[in-house]
Amino acid sequence: MQEMFDFLGIKISLLITGGISGIIGARAEDKKGFFNYLFRAFGGAMTTTYITPMLVDSFHLSENSSYGVGFLIGLTSMNLVQVLLKICSDVEFIKTMIPTKR
């Protein structure tokens, strides 16, 4: 099983951190329901697993700080997704981001 996680680039410790912080984020927003908790746990786990190593590397943070960074990412992951979806739905904003030749 560990070989599969290694192949996918998943650190189990970050996966667990993201899942727990996703559930805490759902609880803090007072969102109830099994599927909401499950979705938040999965979303938190996935965003933490894949975004944390990128941020830790980009900002030259220590390996120990990756758990704190991962927790914050998992906690706010669904809010970040909502912001990104809103930005992506704004066609005029997207047009301003695309370079054009003049």
- Residue pLDDT, tens place only, 54-80: 899 999 998 889 889 988 988 888 777
Question: Measured in whole angstroms, how far is the alpha carbon of residue 35 from the centre of its chain?
Answer: 18
Q: pLDDT tens digits for 74-99?
A: 888 877 777 777 777 777 777 776 77
Q: pLDDT tens digits for 9-23?
A: 888 888 888 888 888
27 or 11: which leads in pLDDT: 11
Residue 60: per-residue pLDDT: 92
> DSSP letter at 33?
S
Dump strand ranges (E) for the chain: none
pLDDT band at 27 (very low <50, low <70, confident <90, very high): confident
Task: Give the span between the Cα atoms of 39 and 52, in whole angstroms.
Answer: 19
Residue 31 above 70 pLDDT? no
